[in-house]
Each structure stands twice: as C-alpha cells, then as structure tokens.
Amino acid sequence: MRATTDARSPRTSLARVRDHLLVPVPATSLAIWRIAFGLLLAGNVLRYWQAGWIHDLFVAPRVMFPHWGFAWLPRPEATGVAILFGAVFVGGLAIAHGRHLRLAAAFTFVPFTWLELLDRSTYLNHYYLVSLVLALLTVLPSASRGEVPHERAVPRVTLFALRAQVGLVYFFAGVAKLRADWLFEAEPLTTWLVRHTDAPLVGPLLDDRWVAFAASWAGMLFDLSVVFLLLARRTRRFAFAVVVLFHLATAALFTLGLFPWLMMVNATLFFAPHWPSRARDTIAKRRARASDAPSGSDLASESIVPSGAPAPMGPRSNRVRLAVPLLGILAAHFALQLALPFRQHLYAGDPLWHEQGFRFSWCVMLIEKTATLDLRVVDAEGRETIVHPREELTPLQLRMVPTQPDLVLAYAHHVRDRFEAEGHGEVRVYADGFASLHGRPRQRLVDPNVDLARERDGLLDKPWIVPLRGHEVVAGR
Amino acid sequence: MHGSTRRTAARSTASLAIASSVLGLALTIGSCSGGAEPFDRAAMLGSLGQTVILPTYRDFAARAGELEAATSTLCGGPSEATLASARDVYAATREVYAQAEAFAIGPHTDSPRRLSPKVNFWPVREDLVEEQIAATTSIDLDATSSSARGLPAIGYLLFGLDGGAAEDAAIVAALEGRRCEYLRALTAYLKARADEYVLAWSPDGDDFAGQLAEGRGTFASVQASSGVVFEQLVFTAENVRELKIGKPFGKRDGGVLQLGEQEDRLGGRSLADAHANVRSVQNVWTGRYADVQGIGVRDWLLARRPALEPEVAAAFDAVHAAFDALGDQTLDQAIAEDPEGVEAVYQAVKDLQTVLAVDVAQALAVTVTFNPTDGD
C-alpha cells in the first residue's frame, strides 16, 4: 500500500510554489515596462554621447580602476568604447521592440556590464540594477502565446523575479538609511538641500533643518514601505503617485540621471499584469457607454487561465524540467542579493567612512564626503616624489579616488607600477590626505605611514583605513 | 475575511492619506514659519564681481597701459633708467595680474576669448621669441606661439638676454630695431587683452559678472556659479603649492630641482607672484579689494559654520608669515639659501588648501566637482 502524499511536506510545498510561479499571466504590463526600459537604455546612450561623457569617462582617462576581480577585463580603445555604447543603444531598442527578448537582453547585458566594470569611480547603483535586470531578462521566460486569443503570456515567475529585484532595491535602500547620520543628523540631506536655497518657491525652506529631517525620515519610510504599498491592491495607486512625486522631487533636486525615471518605470511592474488591457477596456467601455455599444472583456485576476485550471505553459513535464534549473538560478541569485547588502557590516567601523562592502548593497545617496590626496613615492634610494592625482585623473576620478579607500589603494598601485616601469626600482607609496564625512572635522582616511605599494586589494578588512574619530556631526550648525 | 481585508486596506489608505496630509501641513507651516533667510549667494557673487573681479581687471588694464607707455619710452630712449622704470611697471603689472588668479574663469579659460594663453603662458620659450625677432615678416601676435607672447615674453626682453646673465647695459644696447618693435607689439597686445578682460566682465561687454551673479549664460545656476568660484579658490591654492612652488622645488621629481619651471624666473617674481596668487584667494574670501569691502566667501561660511572661520583666517596668516619670512628673495635664491623656508611656504599653502577643500567645502555644501555626471 502506497502512502498518501502529505500536503505539508517540503517537497510538496516546493512543488506548489513551483507550480504557482509557472502560472501564466498576461504579458501586457511587462510589454509596456519592457518598451520603456529599453527606450530608457537607448536614450541614456544618446545622453552620454550628447554630454561628451563617452569620451570623458571611458576614452580620456589615463588610468581606470576596474572592479575587484575584473582587472582581467580588456579596456577598449575609443573605437571599442563606441562599439560597446552602440551595442547598448541597439540592444535597448531591441528590448523595446521585444522580439527575441532574451537574446536582446543578453546582447545588451554584455557591453553594458563591461563598461560598468571598467572603472569603480563611475559606479552607480542604478546601473548595477540595470545589469541585474538585463541578466534576469536573459534567463527568465519571455512572452509566448497564451490561452486567450491575442493575449501573450509569461509565467508568473518572470513578473515575480523582476518585482523582487526592484523591491530589494527599495527595501535595502531603506534599511541602509537606518543609521544615526541619516535619522538623527539628517545627513547628508542637510548638506545637499541647502545647495538649492535659491530655487523658486521652496528654496528658502530648504535651509531649515526640520525640512532635512522630514525629508530624511520620509525617504526612509518611503523606501521601506513602498514595495508593500505597491503590492497591495488597495494602496497601489496611492503608492504609485508617491513614487512619481518622490522621484520627480529627487530628479529636480539632485543630479541622478537615469535613476528616477528608471524607478518610476520599474514601479509599473507592481501593477496587475493586465493593467494595460484593463485600461484599454475601461476606455472602450466609456466609449461604448457613450455610443451604447457592448464593451470588451474585464480581466479580474492576474492569471490568464480560469481559476483552478492547470497552468497551461506547455506540456507539464517540459515545464517542470525547464523550471527546475531556472528556479535554482533564481534562488541562488536572490540569496546572493539578500546577502550582499549585509556584508558591509562584517567590517569594523562605520561603513559610511570606510565604504567597504558599500557597492552592490543599495546604499543610495548616503554619503557626502570631501577629501584631499597626495601620494608620496619613495624610491629605493630614498628620493621622495609627491604625486598629485590631478596630474592624471579625470575630474570624476579626482572627486571619487580621495574619498574611497579602495580607490586610493588602486591608484597607489597604479603609481607604483608606473614608477617601477620608469626605472625607479622598487618604490614605497604613502597616502597623504584628509577627509571629512557629513561635516565632521577633517581627519586622516588612510594611515600615512603604511606603504600601500605592499598592501593587497581584496575583500578582507583594510587595517590601514584610519577609523572614524568620534561621532559628532557639525554640518550646517 | 474578505470584509476584514477590505477594512484593513481601507484603514491603510486612510492612514496614508492622514500621514501625507500631516506632512503637507507641516511643509505649509514650515514655509510660513519665516525662519532666518538663507545666505544670499547671488548677492555675494554680484559683490565679488563689482568689488573684486572688475576692479582687479581694471587695475590690470591700467598697469598694462602704463607698461605699454614705459616700453615706448624705453624704446624711444633706451637707458638703464628707462629700463629700470619699465621693469618696475612690469612688476606692478604682474602683481595685479597675479591677484586675478582666484577668478581665472570665464573669459580667461573659455573660448572664444580664452585669454589665458595670450597673457601668461609660462615658462617663456626664449628661442621662439628670438625667432620672431629675427623674422622678416610683419608681427602678428594672434598667430604667434603662446610661448613667445604675453607677460613672460615681455619679461624675457626686459630681463633675459643671455639667459638672464647679461648686464643691464647689454640689454639696453640690444633694444633697437626689430627687438624694440617686438617689445612694443607685445605690450600693445597685452594692453588690448587686458581691456578685453574688462570688457568681458563688465555689463557693457559680455557681462560675465552678471552671468556669475545670476547663474546664467556660462553658469547654469547660482549654485553652479558659487561652486565654480569656490573651486577656483581651491584650485589656485593647489596650483601655487604644487606647480609654482613644488615643481621648481623638486617635489614632483624626486628632489631634483626644476628651476626652469618657474612662472617668472627672469623677472625674479615667481615667489612674489605666488604670494599674490594667495592674496587673490584671500580677496575673494574676504570680498575685499583695494580697501573696498564687499561680500566674500567668508561671509557665506560665517552664515553656515562660523566656528570654522578662525581656522581659515589662521591658515591665511600662516601662509603670509611663511612668504614674508623669505623676504625679497627670488625663488632661486630661496631654494638655494633657505630651503626650509620654501618648505614652510609649501606646507602652509597645503594646509590652506586642505582646510578649504575638505572642511569649508563641507560647510558650504560645495562638492568640489568638475563634471556633472550622474550620482546616486
């Protein structure tokens, strides 16, 4: 006699989750999102080209600082850079078009991520998000013909994964704001908002500290709650309105480029997957009412199939066979996504200061740091040369390198290699500079007595970073 | 169950609506609360234009006119006395021009005027100047190498025969014919460019002072123009330390002196010019020039973080003390005879640069940035 299957066994539960994720849902909302996402990517290339940033950030630099572990990545010459940007542009348009979406996403992912990995000083959280989304689109099932005539469908997992990815950005951005500087000193918003005191209407208000406090707390609450508010049907419209207002405000106040527009587009992923059809039907109904004509169908549920019917995405055995590796990949991906933001806390000291584990952690708009840096190079015969970063760094690098210890180290290694190649023999390289975080009195960021030429880059704690002294913040007082 | 969900959702919506109303009300109350007015950066920029920038360039134009006249007198009657007179005016002209370094923006660097290489591209290329003198074609300074025109070329003709080793009598004796013609052309060209600075900054011309104050034209906003002004202060301090003192002093070359890399080695004003550059920074900082007090960057700091102001004042004092300790020595002499004194100047300017670039930049919420790329 065979034992009956326990409905609560882990295996069965996993199977139910798997089946749930494979239920087909209309692909219309994804189509709208995909078009906007692709056009944003293509438009961003045009923006870079128009602003001269393709040359300034990727061709002009005499030295670049690849992300840790990616030093092997070839640095393309001007023509290569142009080809990579051209590929992102074409890929963005292909994504918007939607045919062979996974191929288009892979085609865009490679040049986009290649460009992003070339130089840490150009790192932006939302470009990391773009790379992740492109990677997801490469592996996720794309739209296919569904059961309802003329309705394309995707397995629910596609929508779920994209929502989860966007949701993690907001959530961890909110978690990252649960810091004393953000909540109890309203930094860096106090510093940033006073830059805009000459703005029309609201300008004078931005000099009041309570506004910075209100904005800090509202920003934190927004980030932590918006995903849940977008997921709940009753609060979705309100939440979307807040999303739009929030991102429009940040776009007006800060130089954020693609970010606000990308996140507004991403927020549409949280709408019911058939919202474009419903919107179309609503318009049709209104027109029909006006002319007493019959209206279109009203799709009330996310699923494209009747409630209780088996998921019809191809033969079941085929579905399950395909689903297992996909769900495994997604599980690994999201486990990593859940872990990465926490790694900053494995390092001693304040992550806002040492910035270890800060990238790829959705630490969005958290730091205002100023710094100076000279490198003191001592050759084998004891001769000392002062190297000024302005000699060979681009303006953007000049702003980023002195404030981020791992970039200081990377630059020190570059200078070491340069001197040794010029025949100075084995040299020692010391950092001589000061930094200030959120208005604190300046202090050393890097121990000036440590020979950085001998220090290795890596994931281990960097003991040569001088700990942040005290906790007093005095900005704007 | 369904009804409960609806009620919960309704309560959530109501809570959000109340929260947003409270926030809106708070914003409204705040906007009406009439707190202290924020510091008026436009007024500061306007004052800097009228009190510091334009008067400095007007003085420069006046000195350049005097230099044109003095070289005309020299060429009309070459003597050691007229040479000495021309040299004095040359030094006075350089002194004023060096005090424009902290606002070397706009027409100084930007096309189409881009006056910097027409006025002070250094060090001079003596061979190129001699080529121009030896040439038989008419003098066209617009088409001449930047290394053979402007103040450095004038300095060479007034001081530099035989690499600066010639006696004054020999320099006077050589000032005839095409050599004098070239000197006159150089000073006339300099005067025209000085007038161009005035025109570019004045309301009758390009009105850069107005653009700066109102954040228009070259400057995207008042915030942007404030940032440009502040960044130029930091840049000037860094340039003095690193390029004008540090490079000749061998800081960039493993201690090997680079005495040829001075701004005015032949005229012996390299150190004095560097000191005048720091005075230029201080003029913009205090908003004061020629005993006329306006609004400076210091007032901005006093509005934002007054506790920091004494530290900046002390940093300026330390720089002046270090320069003054070197007396009237040229940079060559100081490096040879008082390297500790030169090191003290270097360190003092470095400290000034640090307090400006790190602490003051934070206090004023000015990110020292040069490229408006995206951020997050």
* A395 shares contact with chain B (CB less than 8 Å): yes
Please tell me which residue of chain A has the smallest CA distance to B367.
Answer: A370
Q: How long a stretch of residues is chain A? A: 477
- The pairing of beta strand A384-387 with beta strand A369-371: unpaired
Q: Of the ranges A95-104, A144-153, A193-202, A269-278, which one carries the lowest mean pLDDT score?
A: A144-153
- Average pLDDT over chain A reads 89
- The pLDDT assigned to A201 comes to 80
- The pLDDT assigned to A329 comes to 94
Span A448-452, average pLDDT: 98
Give residue A11's pLDDT band: very low, low, confident or very high (50, 70, 90).
low
- Over 50: is that where the pLDDT of A311 sits? no
Span A277-286, average pLDDT: 85
- Report CB contact under 8 Å: B254, A384: yes
Span A77-93, average pLDDT: 98
Residue B171 lies in a domain: yes
Longest dimension (CA), chain A: 95
- Report CB contact under 8 Å: A439, B362: yes
Span A283-297, average pLDDT: 67
- B220 phi and psi, to 5 degrees? -70, -30
- Report CB contact under 8 Å: A372, B221: no
In this complex, which of A204, A238, A396 lies closest to B38 when CB atoms are compared?
A204
* pLDDT tens track for B250-279: 999 999 999 999 999 999 999 999 999 999
B222 and B195 within one domain: no
Residue B139 lies in a domain: yes
Predicted ipTM > 0.90: no
**Secondary structure in 3-state letters for A99-163:** CCHHHHHHHHHHHHHHHHHCCHHHCCHHHHHHHHHHHHHHHCCCCEECCCCCCEEEEHHHHHHHH
Give me the CATH number covering residue B331: 1.20.1420.20
Span A135-153, average pLDDT: 77
Listed residues B208, B237, B264: the one ending a domain: B208
- The pLDDT assigned to B37 comes to 66
- The pLDDT assigned to A256 comes to 86
B282 and B174 within one domain: no
- Over 70: is that where the pLDDT of A326 sits? yes
Share of chain A above pLDDT 90, in %: 71
Residue B32 lies in a domain: no
Coil, helix or strand for B83?
helix
B220 and B204 within one domain: no
- The pLDDT assigned to B93 comes to 98
- Over 90: is that where the pLDDT of A363 sits? yes
AA identity, residue B355: V
In this complex, which of A194, A234, A388 lies closest to B242 when CB atoms are compared?
A388
Coil, helix or strand for A232?
coil
B235 and B200 within one domain: no
In this complex, which of A198, A424, A439 lies closest to B42 when CB atoms are compared?
A198
Give residue A12's pLDDT band: very low, low, confident or very high (50, 70, 90).
confident
Please tell me which residue of chain B has the smallest CA distance to A206.
Answer: B38
Coil, helix or strand for A465?
strand
- Report CB contact under 8 Å: A439, B305: yes
Give residue B370's pLDDT band: very low, low, confident or very high (50, 70, 90).
very low
B159 and B307 within one domain: no
Listed residues B208, B241, B264: the one ending a domain: B208
Please tell me which residue of chain B has the smallest CA distance to A375.
Answer: B252
Span A415-438, average pLDDT: 96
B230 and B203 within one domain: no
Q: Which tokens hold the place of A407?
A: 């970039």
- Over 90: is that where the pLDDT of B245 sits? yes
Give residue A459's pLDDT band: very low, low, confident or very high (50, 70, 90).
very high
- Over 70: is that where the pLDDT of A397 sits? yes
- Over 80: is that where the pLDDT of A51 sits? yes
- Over 80: is that where the pLDDT of A273 sits? yes
- The pLDDT assigned to A283 comes to 87
- Class of residue B128 by CB neighbours under 10 A (exposed 0-12, middle 13-18, buried 19+): middle
B268 and B182 within one domain: no
Look at B32 and B190; give whichever has higher pLDDT: B190
Q: Which tokens hold the place of A242?
A: 């807040």
C-alpha–C-alpha distance, residues B8 and B15, integer Å: 10
- Class of residue A137 by CB neighbours under 10 A (exposed 0-12, middle 13-18, buried 19+): buried
Domain that holds residue B156: 41-208
- Over 70: is that where the pLDDT of A477 sits? no
Span A258-273, average pLDDT: 95
Residue B31 lies in a domain: no
- Over 90: is that where the pLDDT of A72 sits? yes
* pLDDT tens track for B210-224: 999 999 998 888 988
In this complex, which of B254, B355, B376 lies closest to A126 when CB atoms are compared?
B376
- The pLDDT assigned to A202 comes to 82
Cβ atoms < 10 Å from Cβ of B131: 13
User: How many folded domains does chain B comprise?
Assistant: 2
- Over 70: is that where the pLDDT of A277 sits? yes
* A474 shares contact with chain B (CB less than 8 Å): yes
C-alpha–C-alpha distance, residues A34 and A31, integer Å: 5
Q: Of the ranges A22-36, B34-48, B309-323, B332-346, which one carries the lowest mean pLDDT score?
A: B34-48
Please answer whether residues A108 and A98 qualify as being in contact, where contact means their C-beta atoms are separated by less than 8 angstroms.
no
* pLDDT tens track for B74-116: 999 999 999 999 999 999 999 999 999 999 999 999 889 999 9
Chain A (110-129) residues lying within 8 Å, Cβ to Cβ, of chain B? 122, 124-126
- The pLDDT assigned to B98 comes to 98
Residue B80 lies in a domain: yes
Q: Which tokens hold the place of A108?
A: 């865009």
B190 and B335 within one domain: no
* A to B CB pairs, distance under 8 Å: 167
Cis ω on the peptide bond leading into residue B123 (within 30° of 0)? yes
- The pLDDT assigned to B41 comes to 93
Residue B146 lies in a domain: yes
- The pLDDT assigned to A20 comes to 84
Give residue B45's pLDDT band: very low, low, confident or very high (50, 70, 90).
very high
In this complex, which of A57, A370, A441 lies closest to B361 when CB atoms are compared?
A370
Conformation bin of residue A306: beta by default, left when phi > 0, alpha when psi is -120 to 50: beta
Please answer whether residues B67 and B93 qualify as being in contact, where contact means their C-beta atoms are separated by less than 8 angstroms.
yes
B336 and B315 within one domain: yes
- Over 60: is that where the pLDDT of A475 sits? no
- Sorted by sequence, the CB contacts under 8 Å of residue A44 that are 6+ apart come out as A92, A257, A258
Look at A250 and A265; give whichever has higher pLDDT: A265
- The pLDDT assigned to B2 comes to 43
Cβ atoms < 10 Å from Cβ of A31: 18
* A130 shares contact with chain B (CB less than 8 Å): no
* pLDDT tens track for A19-46: 888 888 889 999 999 999 999 999 999 9
B179 and B121 within one domain: yes
User: Which residues of chain A neighbour B41 with C-beta distances below 8 Å?
Assistant: 197-198
B146 and B51 within one domain: yes
User: Which residues of chain A neighbour B27 with C-beta distances below 8 Å?
Assistant: 205, 211, 214
DSSP 8-state assignment for residue B130: H
Give residue A471's pLDDT band: very low, low, confident or very high (50, 70, 90).
low
User: Which residues of chain A neighbour B370 with C-beta distances below 8 Å?
Assistant: 395-396, 398-399
B301 and B175 within one domain: no
Residue B111 lies in a domain: yes
Residue B371 lies in a domain: no
Q: Which tokens hold the place of A264?
A: 């507004």
User: Which residues of chain B neighbour A439 with C-beta distances below 8 Å?
Assistant: 305, 362-363
Share of chain A above pLDDT 70, in %: 88
Give residue B376's pLDDT band: very low, low, confident or very high (50, 70, 90).
low
Listed residues B208, B241, B272: the one ending a domain: B208
